[in-house]
Chain A
Amino acid sequence: MRPARWRLAPVLLAQLALLGAPTAAPAAATAVPRASLTNIERQVMCVTCKIPLNVAESPQADRERAYIQGLINEGRDEAQIKDALVGQYGSTVLGLPATHGFDLTVYLVPAAVVVALLGLMALVLRRWRRAAHAPAPPPPGSSSLSASDSARLDADLSRFD
C-alpha cells in the first residue's frame, strides 16, 4: 500500500489545476476584439455574389461572415483578417482590380485622361493668351474702305434714310 502522502498527490495536483483555471478563463473572455465585423464587411466582397459583403445575402456571404467572425474571435486585427481572406478566396475578395494584365487599365486610363485634360487645358490657355496679346481690332469707323466700297456703303445707307 502506498503512503498517504502519495495518495494525496493527484488530489493536490487537481486542486492546483483548478486554481489555475479561473485565472486563464477570464483573460480569454475579456480579450478586446481588434477588428469589427461591420467595418470589414464594408471593405470586402462576397466572392460569389460579386457585391460588397455588407449588402450580400446568400449562404456564401453568411459563411464569409462566419469565417471573419472566427478570425475576430481569435484576436486578429483588420490587416491580418484581410490577409487571411485573400489566402482563402484570392485577391478578388478585396474588390480591387489586379495590378497586371487588362485590369491595369483601371489605373492607367484615369491617369491618361487626367494627362490629356491637362494637355487640353494648356493648349486652350495658350490660345487665350495669344488672343490677349494679339493687336486690338481697329475701332469702329476707322476701317479703311476703298473709295468705291465707301461710295456704295453711303449709297446703301442713304436708301434707308
Chain B
Amino acid sequence: MLPVLAALAGAGLVALLIYGVSQQAASRTLDERVASREYPVAPDASSLLPVLDGHGTSSLRSLKGKVVVLNFWASWCQPCEQEAPLLERTQNRLRRDDGTVLGVTYLDATPDSRSFVHHYRLSYPNLRDNTGAFARSYGTDQLPESFIIDRRGRVVAISRGEVDQGFLDRALALAQQA
C-alpha cells in the first residue's frame, strides 16, 4: 500500500513540474490565430493602466474605432531606441487617418521611460504596464513587440521584435481595409 501511495505522490509531483515548466513559456496562441487569419480580439483591452506622462489611467478600449499600433517597449531596450523614430513617423501618418500608436512600457522605471519619451520626442500616448499582466496576456516576454489592431479591436498583425517600414506598411494596410 505504502509503495503505491509513494509512487502516486512522486508521479503527481513530476506532472506538476511538467505543467509548471510548460506554463512558464510565453503563450503563442495569438500568433497562431493571426497566422491563420482568425484575427482575435485584442486581449485585456479594458485593463486600466497608468498613463506614463501624468496621473490617471487609460485602456486600449478607449481607442476602439481607431487603428492602433500597440507597442511594448522599455527605455533599456536597444531595439526600442532603434524603432522609436519610425514609430513617431508612423504616429504622424496615423494621426491623419484617425489612428494612433499606443506605447506600453514594461519592466521599466517611470523616470527612465519619461526620459526616453522626451529624448525621442514621442508624441503618441504611453501607458505603464506596472504589473506585467497586460504584456503577459499578449505573450510578451521580450522587447520590443508590436501588435497591429484594426478599428474593430482585432489583432491583425504581430511583430515580435523591432518593426520596420515594410512590416508597418503591410500591417496598417491590412488593418485599414479590415
Contact = CB atoms under 8 A, between A and B. Distances in A.
A102 B20 contact: yes
Given A60-B74, A89-B130, 4 more contacts: A48-B76, A59-B76, A109-B13, A109-B16
B45 interface: no
A63 interface: yes
Contacts of A48: 74, 76, 107
Contacts, number: 44
B72 to A, nearest CB: 13
Interface in A79-94: 87-92
A91 B131 CA distance: 7
Nearest to B76: A60
Nearest to B24: A102
> Interface residues of A: mostly helix, strand, loop or mixed?
helix
Interface size range of chain B in the complex: 20 to 34
A39 to B, nearest CB: 19
A47 interface: yes
B23 A102 contact: yes
B19 A90 contact: no
Interface of A: 47-48, 59-60, 63-64, 67, 70, 87-92, 102, 105, 109, 116, 120, 123
Nearest to A119: B5
B19 A102 contact: yes
A123 B2 contact: yes
A89 B107 CA distance: 5
B132 interface: yes
Contacts of A91: 131
B109 A120 contact: no
Contacts of B131: 90-91
7 contacts: A59-B76, A63-B75, A67-B111, A90-B130, A90-B131, A92-B132, A120-B2
Interface in B87-123: 107-112
